[in-house]
Structure 1
Amino acid sequence: MSEITTTSTGLAPAVHTVRLEATNHEGCFLGKNVAPKKFTASAGSGFAFADLLFGLDLGNAPAFGFAYPDWRGHLADLNFRPDMTTLVQWSPGLQSVIGDYWQADGTPVGICPRNLARKLVDRLAARGFTATVAVEIEATLFQESIHEARAKGYRDLTPLGGSAGTAYHLAKSKDWNDYMSAVAHRLDEIGIEWEAWSDEDAAGQVELNLVPGDPISVCDAWARARQVMREVAFERGHTVTFMAKPTAGYGQASHVNMSLQRDGVNVFYAPDGPSPTMLHAVGGLLATMRGATSIMLPQITSYRRLVDLSGPPTTVTWGISNKSTAVRAVCGHPEYSRLEYRVPGADVNLYLAVATILAGVIAGVDGEIEPPDPVSDLAWCVPDLERLPDTITKAAEALETDLILREQLGDEFVDYWVGTRRWEWMQFHTTGGDPFAELSEWESARYFEFP
């Protein structure tokens, strides 16, 4: 196949398949496989994807009950445009490329997660800033194969590596270490840089830290790293899930760390604590936090994590080096001064999370929003602290009325997202969900494999 190798496509001579990749609004990694000749012919013009990829819920049912944008409703084709800078050799004979979704008239699809994240990155750049982000990927590993897990309804599974649930525990069985070593090796092979991986709090749980970088590249690496973790689990006869709370025990998160730079200088740094820019960024993040929670905690199960003293933040708070608050400020270092946004669950779509975080930061810096005093004690179990919305519908209502996020993210995205969250609530209550269970069978079936 060497004749199809061109400078414009960058395909290797032995390639027999090119995989197109992107997330939908739910965070699912979607795509299709095309022949090299087809890829060469269409890489410039794009590839057709039916608009149902943004219209189906996680149960594969079309979501109704809210206004569709002009491009939705009759299974029209959207245009997938590959970003050739993301083309990698995934495995022998298979290359993959990440892209974005566009309408037939050449305008971006307003709810395409990657397009939305890029819009906010560009808006930040127009103000003279760049952002550096990092993500902590948490997942739970089980000994059973995916077929065994499906047969058991994803319940009563055996944690890989033993039942110990203490963070940083090194006395794990060989299968757990072999799995994570294989994941790290695969990430190295496809060029995704990682910093560390370790045991997390829950039995079978792991945290994988990717190298900080620009927002879009880190989101791309996040999407691919999760795909690697799934593929390695399947290959080794195990199961991995990014469900927010796969058992009645601990949940799992996707903490996002972020700093701002101007002309290569970290503007969050000040010798004596948070810089004025960091304070204004915190102010914007807190001002938008209730509405942002709908995006950070997207599913029914996401809200089961919000238990005081169990790890996740439950209040609209910030603090300096305080991990019980929703935003933790890390201060005092010219390079590493940053904000850690601790609300997102493991089931979040990182592109949307980053876009929403940047929206709050931009609003805070533009408006010089002053935050309240930092919380220096534990931010749990304090009656006079404002709490995060604790259900999918409360969070959707908060987003619907958030004028800042509407301005930054756009009415089309906000209205569509709110509609899909209300649809998810209705599906839960009408197709078998149990609001009184610690974790219902409906949730396991719907969220264990997706997103």
Structure 2
Amino acid sequence: MYEPTRPATEADRPESATRAVRLEATNHEGCYLGKTVAPKKFAAGKDTGFAFADLLFGLDLGNLPVFGAVFPDWRGHLDDVYFRPDMSTLVEWQPGVESVIGDYWLKDGTPVPICPRNLVRRMVDRLASHGFTATVAVEIEATVFEESIHEARSRGYRDLTPLGGSAGTAYHLAKSRDWVDYMNAVADRLDEVGIAWEAWSDEDAAGQVELNLAPGDPVTVGDAWARARQIMREVAFERGHTVTFMAKPTAGYGQASHINLSLQRDSVNAFHAEDGPSETMLHAIGGLLATIDGNTSLVLPQITSYRRLVDLTGPPVTRTWGISNKTTAVRAVCGNPTLSRIEYRLPGADANLYLALAGVLAGIIGGIEQKIDPPEQIADMAWCLPPGLGVERLPDTITKAAAALDADPVLRELLGDEFVDFWIASRKWEWMQFHTAGGDPSAELSEWESARYFELP
């Protein structure tokens, strides 16, 4: 997907053209981290890697060390892990500054077990062993406010003014010019760095936008997601506004990050069948529903993530699937050899897309390998279902979801014990921080959550 805006090789590029290169990758929380290096430093380390202290995987969003998991040899004593740039992602970010995305590796040349981008690649390789490739697309939702980031900070990220007016119904074109100018500027920047996008529109909540990125392979789309969010932040800051990807930044509607996915074998859509879902699609759905409780921990990572799970407000709340049914957790789109796909509707806007994709692909792999059949589909509304129908609700707290992940044998086998154990410990740590450092369980949205999640991830 990425095409450098000018020649990326050392031979073709004037020595004076670049004054800095920014190294970029997410940590487990989805924070976009990195460092800026001089061109000579980049040339010297692009093959061997760049040292980063292991604390990038050891700190919580409040900058405290996370305890509760066994410390492996590489984590816990500020040892170095190594960032290796993926040169196919090298682009000119702004005049004189290039950026490149990469992965984290250990000294012995093996991947850091909890590196999100490497986890996605591992799932892609496992699919390939069965003859499948995956095509994915993501919808990014965010809320933009009139105030600058400095004003937002001074207000504790509360009582802010939605950009574009107070209209809260999706698709409104009657938005003030500042809202339109913001999204046009975002689209222009995406074009400049080679990120393909398909659409943007007004979303349900006041000030909320939805940006649809073009389909691609999972790693490339994960990279586009990370960069698109950074662009949305930078454009907001430049224009004196602020933007947040918090799951629920106000007491109104929450924010999602829906994932659309299809599998191909020999360039043919393996999810398509003339009479509805193919057998491969049904097994994929079966695996997704069998692992959805555990995957909830990955796609709803923070305390506030679970405040979205309210019947009739958009997010799924039950372990369900249905054809063309957007009230279910997994929507099957059938009938078209090109467009047949699965929409995984659970992830919040605060999810780390790399981890979300790794978990979703793991569920699909499990379903295909074990030939898991899905339950009967839901043809009616999947919200507000009365008890006794045999339809289970999804985990609705960070600790319930962590316990479900702990008990999931498919996700453990595919994602690895070290990642799963670390992630569970970090979610329990997050729960403890909320309950001991100022969170209010009875509030619709506590000040602690606004301070912790508005800017990060």
Letter of the structure 2 residue corresponding to residue 158 of structure 1: T
Letter of the structure 2 residue corresponding to residue 289 of structure 1: I
Runs of 5+ unmatched residues, structure 1: none
Which of 144, 169, 177 is the aligned partner of 2:172?
Answer: 169
CA distance in 1, matches of 2:9, 2:449: 47
Which of 189, 201, 220 is the aligned partner of 2:223?
Answer: 220
Q: Secondary structure at the match of 2:277?
A: coil
Q: 1:8 to 1:128 in 2, by over 3 A?
A: farther
1:7 is displaced (CA, Å) by: 3.2
User: Normalising by structure 1, what TM-score?
Assistant: 0.98
Letter of the structure 2 residue corresponding to residue 433 of structure 1: G
Letter of the structure 2 residue corresponding to residue 64 of structure 1: F
Letter of the structure 1 residue corresponding to residue 70 of structure 2: A
Which of 70, 73, 83 is the aligned partner of 1:70?
Answer: 73
CA distance in 1, matches of 2:122, 2:270: 21
- Say whether the 8 Å CA contact 1:259–1:268 is kept in structure 2: yes
Q: Secondary structure at the match of 1:381?
A: coil
1:67 is displaced (CA, Å) by: 1.3
Which of 189, 197, 203 is the aligned partner of 1:194?
Answer: 197
Q: 1:244 to 1:10 in 2, by over 3 A?
A: farther
> Structure 1 residue 50 and structure 2 residue 53: aligned?
yes
- Say whether the 8 Å CA contact 1:9–1:84 is kept in structure 2: no
Letter of the structure 2 residue corresponding to residue 81 of structure 1: R
Q: Secondary structure at the match of 2:272?
A: coil
Letter of the structure 1 residue corresponding to residue 424 of structure 2: V
Aligned to 2:425: 419
1:70 is displaced (CA, Å) by: 2.4
Q: Secondary structure at the match of 2:61?
A: coil
1:165 is displaced (CA, Å) by: 0.4
Question: 1:181-224: CA deviations, max 9, x gaps?
Answer: 00000000000000000000000000000000011000000000
Matches within 5 A, 1:104-115: 104-115=107-118
Question: 1:57-116: CA deviations, max 9, x gaps?
Answer: 000111112212221110000000000000000000000000000001111000000000
- Say whether the 8 Å CA contact 1:219–1:350 is kept in structure 2: yes
> Structure 1 residue 147 and structure 2 residue 147: aligned?
no
Aligned to 1:353: 356
CA distance in 1, matches of 2:13, 2:306: 44
Q: 1:32 to 1:9 in 2, by over 3 A?
A: farther
Aligned to 1:267: 270
CA distance in 1, matches of 2:296, 2:14: 43
CA distance in 1, matches of 2:8, 2:139: 37
CA distance in 2, matches of 1:11, 1:275: 49
For this pair of structures, how many residues does the alignment match? 447
Letter of the structure 2 residue corresponding to residue 227 of structure 1: Q
- Say whether the 8 Å CA contact 2:53–2:80 is kept in structure 1: yes
- Say whether the 8 Å CA contact 2:8–2:90 is kept in structure 1: no
> Structure 1 residue 316 and structure 2 residue 319: aligned?
yes
CA distance in 1, matches of 2:398, 2:13: 44
Which of 401, 424, 442 is the aligned partner of 2:448?
Answer: 442
- Say whether the 8 Å CA contact 1:9–1:40 is kept in structure 2: no
Matches within 5 A, 1:46-445: 46-382=49-385, 383=387, 384=389, 385-445=391-451
- Say whether the 8 Å CA contact 1:11–1:95 is kept in structure 2: no
CA distance in 2, matches of 1:399, 1:68: 20
Task: Name the Cα RMSD after superposition.
Answer: 1.0
Question: 1:29-81: CA deviations, max 9, x gaps?
Answer: 00000000100111111100000000000001111122122211100000000
Q: Secondary structure at the match of 1:251?
A: coil
Q: Secondary structure at the match of 1:22?
A: strand
CA distance in 1, matches of 2:334, 2:392: 24
Question: 1:337-361: CA deviations, max 9, x gaps?
Answer: 0000000000000000111111010
CA distance in 2, matches of 1:169, 1:204: 11
* Mean Cα deviation higher: 307-316 or 61-70: 61-70
Letter of the structure 1 residue corresponding to residue 217 of structure 2: D
Letter of the structure 1 residue corresponding to residue 197 of structure 2: W
> Structure 1 residue 7 and structure 2 residue 13: aligned?
no
CA distance in 2, matches of 1:111, 1:218: 19
Question: 1:233-278: CA deviations, max 9, x gaps?
Answer: 0000000000000001000000000000001000100111100100
CA distance in 2, matches of 1:73, 1:228: 33
Letter of the structure 1 residue corresponding to residue 204 of structure 2: D
Aligned to 2:3: none
CA distance in 2, matches of 1:137, 1:374: 27
1:369 is displaced (CA, Å) by: 0.5
Q: 1:6 to 1:161 in 2, by over 3 A?
A: closer
- Say whether the 8 Å CA contact 1:49–1:79 is kept in structure 2: yes
Q: Secondary structure at the match of 2:135?
A: strand
Q: 4+ residue runs of structure 1 moved beyond 3 angstroms?
A: 5-13
CA distance in 2, matches of 1:218, 1:296: 16
CA distance in 2, matches of 1:390, 1:69: 31
Letter of the structure 1 residue corresponding to residue 140 of structure 2: I
